């Protein structure tokens, strides 16, 4: 599909156009002045079209490049998501374990020693009561 617009006139065609004169026709200087304005507008439009066409082409190239980068990064993500997730989970569990050991370590060691002391006290009590 071609997005080009077909234009029949260009600034040069307008400039070179000759009109026949008749007895009660338009004033040639007024027509020439008006056609000069039309030529300037055509030139301005053509410059805008050229600039926008170039920008459009540049943006299409950029979109293609970004799509290629996106598909490449998707391929990388698909190949290693489980490895990264497993490593992350392992690191989290390690940190949690270290944190628990640090926070609860003293309490756990006190609790582990307390039943042994009770057992020793119990055995002494039983021996004296026998």
Q: What are the tens digits of pLDDT across the range 30-52?
A: 888 888 899 999 899 999 999 99
Q: What is the DSSP letter of 8?
A: S
What domain range includes position 73?
Answer: 1-79
Q: How many domains does the chain have?
A: 2
32 and 64 assigned to the same domain: yes
111 and 123 assigned to the same domain: yes
Q: Is the pLDDT of residue 28 over 60?
A: yes
**Which carries the bigger pLDDT value, residue 85 or residue 72?**
72
96 and 37 assigned to the same domain: no
* Percentage with pLDDT > 70 across the chain: 69
CA gap 61, 114 in Å, rounded: 74
17 and 68 assigned to the same domain: yes
16 and 74 assigned to the same domain: yes
pTM of the model: 0.46
Under the banding of pLDDT at 50, 70 and 90, the label for residue 61 is very high
């Amino acid at each position: 599909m071609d997005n080009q617009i077909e234009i029949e006139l260009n600034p040069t065609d307008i400039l070179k156009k000759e009109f026949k004169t008749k007895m009660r026709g338009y004033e040639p200087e007024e027509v020439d002045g008006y056609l000069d304005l039309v030529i300037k507008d055509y030139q301005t439009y053509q410059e805008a079209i050229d600039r926008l066409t170039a920008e459009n082409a540049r943006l299409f190239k950029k979109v293609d490049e970004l799509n290629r980068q996106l598909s490449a990064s998707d391929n990388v993500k698909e190949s290693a998501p489980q490895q990264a997730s497993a490593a992350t989970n392992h690191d989290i569990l390690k940190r949690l374990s270290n944190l628990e050991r640090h926070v609860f370590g003293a309490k756990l060691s006190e609790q582990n020693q307390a039943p042994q002391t009770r057992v020793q006290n119990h055995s002494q009590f039983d021996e004296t009561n026998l």
